Amino acid sequence: MKGIIIDGRAIANKIKDELSQTIHGLIKNNVTPKMAVLHIGEDPASISYTKSINRVASKLNIDVDIKKIEDTTCDEKVIEEIKRLNEDRTIHGILIQEPIPPQFNRDNIILSISPLKDIDCMNPVNLGGVMRGKFNFAPSTPLGVLKILAHEKINVEGKHVVIVGRSTIVGKPLANLLLIKGRGGNATVTVCHSKSSDLIHFVKMADIVIAAVGRAKLIKGDMVKQGAVVIDVGINSIIDNEGKHKLVGDVDFDTVAEVASYITPVPGGVGPVTTLMLLSNLIKATKENLI
């Protein structure tokens, strides 16, 4: 059996069409949605993510203000800049690109983002809302995963979802969203991580596997139950047999596609949908800031 390959780009295009109508309405009322993206340091992966956000945003007539902050700057200056953005009424959303270099106090920086402009749900106030199941903003990657499942009409209620990865930005909030009592939730969730003693045992039990690890091709076909849904969040750069750089996921696509009922590819799966969920959060913030 060959699984259905989920087309993340097609889903992203649908969301784009829906968003562009709302944005058109806002612009007609003289409001141009605008986000600030703060880069602290020069991480190449986050620079490339910002470029891709900017590319999609500009097609939607969303303004993106990219602020580069030297990694020699002190915490106070970064927080001052964030506070200035919090006060700026033309900025509707703030994204701080990760990783924040280790010499900075990440907790203090994140806490200074206004929860009302925190479009990637970094501030613990918003993350707490996700845990309670009552929130303004959830992180864009977990929202992207849920969007993909909903788009493919894959009902998670009563299903055993195994998430591999317990990060604060993907694994943990995704687990909380899947546990919500209500539509789109009600799943039974297991979260595995680097210290889980028998990863294969847990993955093999899953009706839905979500890999968010950052280890190329960790999940192999013989670890997955026949007919399971497999969502690959991972993005890993590897050198292929011809010596070229190639992006692959945490899932060994070729072997897993043989047993899965649905599978997302990398690239072209979760990534494009994530970007659109971030922009959806920005539009939500723009509308709410008008009130």
Phi-psi map region of 186: left, alpha, beta (phi>0 left; psi -120 to 50 alpha): left
Please tell me whether residue 274 binds ligand NAD under the rule CB under 6 A: yes
Is cis: bond before 102, omega within 30 of 0? no
Cβ distance 203 to 192 under 8 Å? yes
CA nearest 95: which of 41, 35, 171?
A: 35
Please tell me whether residue 121 binds ligand NAD under the rule CB under 6 A: no
Please report, as a single letter, which amino acid is at residue 86: N
Please tell me whether residue 11 binds ligand NAD under the rule CB under 6 A: no
Which residue in 19, 91, 170, 279 binds ligand NAD (CB under 6 A)? 170
In the complex, what is the shortest distance from the CB of residue 100 to ligand NAD, in angstroms, rounded to a whole number?
13
Which residue in 85, 177, 212, 257 binds ligand NAD (CB under 6 A)? 212
Please tell me whether residue 219 binds ligand NAD under the rule CB under 6 A: no
Which residue in 148, 169, 208, 230 binds ligand NAD (CB under 6 A)? 169
Pair type for strands 34-40 and 63-69: parallel
Q: How far apart are CA 266 and CA 268, in angstroms?
A: 5
Cα 144 to the center of its chain, rounded Å: 6
Please tell me whether residue 193 binds ligand NAD under the rule CB under 6 A: yes
Euclidean distance between the first and the last CA atom of the chain, given in angstroms as a whole number: 52
Per-position x/- string for 31-70, each x denoting binding to ligand NAD as judged by CB under 6 A, each - no binding: ----------------------------------------
Please tell me whether residue 165 binds ligand NAD under the rule CB under 6 A: yes
Cβ distance 284 to 137 under 8 Å? yes
Please tell me whether residue 194 binds ligand NAD under the rule CB under 6 A: yes
Which residue in 105, 136, 167, 190 binds ligand NAD (CB under 6 A)? 167
Contacting residues toward ligand NAD, per CB under 6 A? 141, 164-167, 169-171, 192-194, 196, 199, 212-215, 218, 233-236, 270-271, 274
